Amino acid sequence: MCPTIIQQQTRLLKISWILLLASGIGILGFGIIVTAYPQIGGHTEEGLLRAIGVATTGMGIFGIMITLEAFRRKEKWAWFTLWYYPIFWTIHLVGELPPGNDHIHQIVFIVISLLGLLLPVRQLFSRNMVKS
């Protein structure tokens, strides 16, 4: 392969993991907000919302670590696992879940997580995988 193709694949993978990292940071931030300010959830019991916030914080940390370690090494299991990002944000959008009432951030996170997962597909699943 010519160097430009390798450079392009490396660039796409970098863009990809940065987008997925942004989504992971968004989930981490969501978890921290719900833990610290459970009243944003409306009439739901605060203890339950705090527990959900703590769990979501952990989910964000796990996603960030998977992105920074395994996904950057092009491990396919990480790519499959990170599909929970667009699923997570879509459920929040469809269910009109907190935080916030505008929900535009959820659409943004759905788009960036889908881009992050779809940009490197050819690189991750091609027969002639190039290790960089």
**Which of 65, 68, 82 has the alpha carbon at shortest distance from 121?**
82
Take residue 36 and report the two structure tokens written for it.
């610290």
Per-residue pLDDT band for 40 (boundaries 50, 70, 90) equals: confident
**Which of 56, 62, 61, 74 has the alpha carbon at shortest distance from 17?**
74
pLDDT tens per residue, range 116-126: 999 999 888 88
Asked whether the whole model's pTM tops 0.85, one would answer: no
Going by C-beta distance under 8 Å and a sequence separation of 6 or more, which residues neighbour residue 12?
119, 120, 123
